[in-house]
A and B are shown apart, each in its own frame.
Chain A
Amino acid sequence: MVTTFHYLLLGAALFTIGVIGVLTRRNIMIILMSIELMMNAVNINLIAFSNRLQQVTGQVFAIFVITVAAAEAAVGLGIVIAMFKNKETMNINEIDLMKW
């Protein structure tokens, strides 16, 4: 029997994978992809609870999360392109203009 607990475990696993990806990789594209993974984990949790509580609210919020993910991807990739024009790199360790 598949319970809500299973879905929460899956969401936790995906979220942790995303966190590890953000913290360990240097390639900015992969960091953005890891952020998408984390948003997907959150969506799984929202929809699992939407099903568990028999309310449609969780699904509405999942759609909002997808909207925010789309906006974030558009702006983030715009920043990546602007950065690549200036620095010719995707390595975040070389992007230290604002480092104190």
Chain B
Amino acid sequence: MLELILFYTFGAIAVISGILVITRHNVVHSAAFLGATLFAVAGIFLTLHAEFVAGVQVIVYVGGILVLFVFVIMLIAVERSVHERQYNKQWTIALITSAILIVEIAYGLYRGRDSLVLPAVVPPAAAAAGGNAEQVGTALYTSYLLPFEIASILLLVAIVGAVVLSKKRTPAEE
């Protein structure tokens, strides 16, 4: 019963805030609602007993990415963009495409419903197996060591790319 209440609370917050993210005119409001969605998704992870990923979600998404978004919003003019037209002209095509996507997902879920109705199982005594963070860490540093290293290279490339993109051009380059 408690699981059900938690799931519907977090799910409702995530979906309603998500809809508000894409409908608000002011970008700052959108960013705030995105934060609410991210927190709610972290709560959803907690109900799935993925405590480590929930922590990473809050630290990296809310503490890192969202703050980055807000910084950029502050750097570029917000005032002007509020008065610009917010929705583009292709919304009929967008609506049709989204309807097709919804039908596709619904069909997939409908076909696979028999294999999915089993209750989400609770890990039996997670402490005996070393806890969630230890399990994730073990998998990350043994089976997935190469992807882990590639991810670190990816982050390095992203840092260099972001610096190159946003740095001031020197007179020699122009």
Contact = CB atoms under 8 A, between A and B. Distances in A.
Interface of A: 1-10, 12-21, 23-27, 29-30, 32-34, 36-37, 40, 43-44, 47-48, 50-52, 54, 56-57, 59-60, 62-64, 66-75, 77-82, 84, 88-93
Residues of B in contact with A, size category? 35 or more
Interface of B: 3-4, 7, 11, 14-15, 18-19, 21-22, 27, 30-31, 34, 37-38, 41, 44-45, 47-50, 52-53, 56-57, 60-61, 64-65, 68-69, 72-73, 75-77, 81, 84-88, 90-91, 93-95, 97-98, 101-102, 105-106, 109, 113, 116-121, 123, 132, 135-136, 138-140, 143-144, 147, 151, 154-155, 157-159, 161-166
Contacts of A67: 151, 154-155
Judged by DSSP, the binding face of A is: helix
A10 B40 CA distance: 12
